Copies of this chain bind each other. A is one copy, B any other.
């Protein structure tokens, strides 16, 4: 991607305001006024076909009349005029269009939106929006938006898919004391997407943390790739995760919500840190923009209140970072700075008797200790202490420790004095919160950041012992027959081409052939009808198991054909499958879909009630490495069964992980053909004994 072009648009040295107005109350008035009011120092050119001057500045009737260069054009004129505006901007050499105007795909005018984008691309311009508030940047004193002011300065960058929320968050940065360098309204995402902004913000020197409000991505795979490659933390509040919420989101933005479960998987696979709600987005953004990642699991909690210590401990477990007791040497040292009835175990309870010195000494010691990966310092306002002094002692101790690569978060519970002390801590770069749970949750976000980086260190490497050509030949043949539902035999042939172990299954079209194949495969056997028109084979009397000899093969061959013909006379019968009867093993299920946002995605779970009743399944966007496959096995609640619970031998998880990885490669490679597929059941045997796909199904895309 050309970051230079984006840079020109998002950090412009000159701006044309197309639709700049002299009428107070108009957005074209507000945007121009904001550029002046917030001190933008680049060139500003009002474009207005009627007025000669706008807000005291010479106005031009078209960008083509502007003498100097124009980096960004902020467009506020009615939608129908914008294709022409785009044309003129292109000719002028504008780098990007920031289209505030609405009236495009959000009201059904996708055609108009596409026309603008097509024109822009002809001239190598990018388009932000339409249907947005604009962009805000403290680094450039640039408020090219109709939001009332630049946000409280800081190191985070907000990208919001909701304009109203962006404006509201903008003003609330001052009351919440969370600083942002940039705020970008992304709107309809006709061109510039979240993925583009990840790449651009990752390269931006003034951004330390990306903070996203997402309703629905349009560039799932691009976003995932960009996020994985980014060096800075990304924290996202994804709305529409509830069933009703997804419906509400769809009606709001028209973006396809996709499956909540697949979104969840995708964001986690991309190393994106999640925010649970709006407060959590602010709280986590604050810590992520000020503190380094937490490199290990050892969180130490220091407090002067046993109660808040316990609350913080609960919060740590909720946030997926359960506390551990501190090692002996740490406890022994900390014990020196508290009364007899204190506790040095973790949470470290200095008790209500703790003053400035105890806080200073224990923070300094703990922060420097190699066992401690991150520190949460909690303080309850007491009559015996002055919050500002406690704050200063914490800062001093951190500085004196000489340690810089570790995170710290702080919570002060109290009144005005505590508020002021927390404000001071923020100014020193130490995130401070008014509740212990919040401080711990923010520290957990810094741990998630480090973990995400770890996970992505082992990417998927394609298997090379696959035969894509063979798979495509099977599919082409089915297509030639006008079929979209591959038969079991065809499906298994495709699976086999990707190195997946399938139960040997061959097609017999006559009684004699059935016997011949049966003798080759060996008994016992399963026999099943093969027909693209029979989806529920058992219901049609089309399945028989435990066939022991040639006589039974002959008899079954006719019984099956007779049953199926009675069940569905018009069915196209390919013949009868002769299949080896796999010995009993633990049943698991694999399935795939083509997600509208993320493309090929897969599901894994144990068979029967586990999938159907307990919904105990896990999802991933494909492909996954065998290591990630192993992780899927333990992600489900019934994972313990595969590990060998209740005295049974562990199942062959390595073989199963290999199957998951190969399956994921298959659905990605055949994305253009395969709409959905499943392997149900896959039988998994004891360690070293492998696993086998007993039944397989592939449904092709409509073409």
Contact = CB atoms under 8 A, between A and B. Distances in A.
Given A171-B414, A352-B163, A435-B279, A248 B309 contact: yes
Contacts of A645: 609, 612-613
A689 to B, nearest CB: 21
Contacts of A165: 305, 307-308, 380, 413
Instruction: Give the one of A306, A347, A349, A613 with max B CB within 10 A.
Output: A306
Interface in A246-287: 248-249, 251-253, 277-279
A138 interface: no
A597 interface: no
Contacts of A30: 383
A586 to B, nearest CB: 11
A307 B381 contact: no
Instruction: Give the one of A162, A347, A637, A645 with max B CB within 10 A.
Output: A162
A161 to B, nearest CB: 7
Interface in A184-221: 213, 215
Interface of A: 25, 30, 106-107, 146-148, 160-165, 167-169, 171-176, 213, 215, 237, 239-245, 248-249, 251-253, 277-279, 304-311, 313-318, 322-324, 340-341, 343, 345, 347, 349, 352, 380-384, 413-419, 434-438, 608-609, 612-614, 616, 637-638, 640-641, 645-646
A438 B276 CA distance: 12
Given A171-B415, A248-B347, A381-B171, A243 B307 contact: no
Nearest to A349: B252
A690 B381 CA distance: 60
Contacts of A169: 413
Contacts of A435: 277-279
A641 B609 contact: yes
Given A382-B167, A434-B175, A613-B646, A311 B345 contact: no
Contacts of A311: 237, 239, 245, 277-278
Q: How many copies does the complex hold?
A: 2
7 contacts: A164-B382, A167-B381, A171-B417, A175-B434, A242-B318, A243-B322, A279-B438
B413 A168 contact: yes
A240 to B, nearest CB: 5
Nearest to A278: B435
A115 to B, nearest CB: 21
A415 B175 contact: yes
Given A175-B434, A244-B313, 13 more contacts: A162-B308, A168-B380, A168-B418, A172-B381, A175-B418, A240-B314, A244-B324, A245-B310, A245-B313, A248-B343, A252-B306, A609-B638, A609-B645
Contacts of A614: 614, 616, 637-638
Contact of A307 (B161, B304, B309, B415): B161
Given A106-B341, A239-B307, A381-B171, A164 B313 contact: no
A333 B315 CA distance: 44
Nearest to A411: B278
Contact of A240 (B278, B310, B316, B322): B310
Nearest to A309: B248
The 10 closest A-B pairs by CB, nearest first: A162-B307, A171-B415, A164-B305, A242-B317, A252-B306, A168-B380, A168-B413, A277-B437, A245-B313, A165-B307
Contacts of A315: 277
A419 B308 CA distance: 27
Contact of A609 (B171, B413, B415, B646): B646
A358 to B, nearest CB: 14
A418 to B, nearest CB: 7
Contacts of A438: 277, 279
A606 to B, nearest CB: 10
A252 B164 contact: no
A239 B638 CA distance: 29
Contacts of A107: 340-341
Contacts of A437: 277-279
Given A314-B239, A437-B279, A244 B419 contact: no
A414 B309 CA distance: 32
A107 to B, nearest CB: 6
A418 B645 CA distance: 56
